[in-house]
């Protein structure tokens, strides 16, 4: 579905069902693998022959699995990954190449792509190999990005006569700054894992063989905290990413006040004073 040049773009539409539990729905997934590792949900893209090229079906499945984990009270964080060779080498060009303007515009093509950003639980992208075009955009939609030392990031849409359409021009500039983002978007050049770390695109770089385990460990650490507190912390941090400083400070303070209505706040502070580990109940 993708050629060797691995030039790509964004990604696709709609979501079919809302599985009540990932394990329940797993047999219905054809292009992803879904499992639970302790309190962390793991979604693995599984189109190896296409280097995990993103088509409509795989996006529907990712979104459905993420929603199921979001609704599962036993899960505290979600990890999204691909293979060691490719997180996702881009969108499935064959699927979109012949679509007419009236269809892509009229149906607001890729509108559901951003559904991953609506997940309330923390999402972690574990990126190995190629994360190009839609693959890079998918990774940037996650809250935290862990990169293997073999990871490559890029928005090469100009090479195929289009531009990023799933947030590439918007999220990349917020992550790495205008000049570097412009260079990548306008030339189609790739960024190495080391560069991605130096520019702040990823949280850390680890040996490729340990990328998923590292992301799972971060997820487990997050999942050990109070879920409502983590949800508020995520929303407050995203407010800083998207809004003004004054609005963000106001929201942060109100969330801080709100935590005092939780049993977990009382337990957490009591445990600190008593020098013991807190026993959070997510209440």
Catalytic residues: 91, 134, 137, 157
Q: In what order do the strands lie in the sheet with 77-81?
A: 32-37, 40-45, 77-81, 123-127, 144-148, 204-206
Residue 199 burial by Cβ neighbours in a 10 Å radius (0-12, 13-18, 19+): middle
Written as six digits, the tokens of 233 are: 């912390």
User: Is 89 strand, coil or helix?
Assistant: coil
Please tell me the total number of residues recorded for the chain in this structure.
283
For 98, other C-beta atoms within 10 Å of its C-beta total: 7
Taking CA atoms, 128 is separated from 10, 18, 83, 188, 269, in Å, by 18, 29, 7, 19, 39
Would you list the DSSP string of 164-214?
A: --SSHHHHHHHHH-HHHHHHHHHH--EEEHHHHHHTTSSSEEE-GGGHHHH
């Amino acid at each position: 579905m993708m050629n060797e040049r691995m030039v790509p773009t964004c990604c696709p539409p709609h979501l079919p069902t809302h599985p009540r539990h990932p394990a329940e729905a797993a047999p219905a997934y054809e292009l992803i693998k879904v499992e639970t590792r302790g309190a962390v949900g793991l979604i693995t893209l599984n189109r190896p022959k296409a280097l995990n090229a993103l088509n409509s079906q795989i996006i529907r499945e990712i979104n459905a699995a993420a929603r199921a984990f979001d609704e599962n009270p036993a899960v505290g964080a979600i990890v999204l990954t691909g293979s060691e060779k490719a997180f996702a080498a881009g969108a499935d060009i064959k699927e979109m190449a012949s679509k007419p303007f009236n269809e892509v515009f009229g149906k607001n093509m890729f509108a559901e792509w951003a559904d991953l950003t609506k997940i309330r639980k923390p999402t972690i992208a574990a990126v190995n190999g190629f994360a190009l075009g839609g693959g890079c955009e998918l990774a940037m939609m996650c809250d935290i990005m862990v990169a293997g030392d073999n990871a490559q990031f890029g928005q090469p849409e100009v090479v195929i006569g289009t531009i990023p359409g799933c947030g590439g021009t918007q999220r990349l500039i917020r992550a790495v700054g205008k000049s570097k983002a412009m260079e990548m978007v306008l030339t189609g050049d790739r960024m190495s894992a080391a560069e991605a770390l130096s520019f702040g695109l990823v949280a850390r770089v680890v040996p490729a063989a340990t990328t998923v385990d590292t992301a799972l460990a971060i997820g487990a650490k997050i999942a050990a905290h109070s879920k409502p507190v983590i949800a508020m912390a995520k929303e407050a941090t995203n407010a800083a990413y998207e809004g003004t400083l004054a609005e963000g400070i106001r929201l942060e303070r109100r969330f801080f006040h709100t935590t005092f209505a939780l049993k977990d706040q009382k337990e957490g502070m009591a445990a600190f004073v008593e020098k013991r580990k807190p026993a959070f109940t997510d209440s």
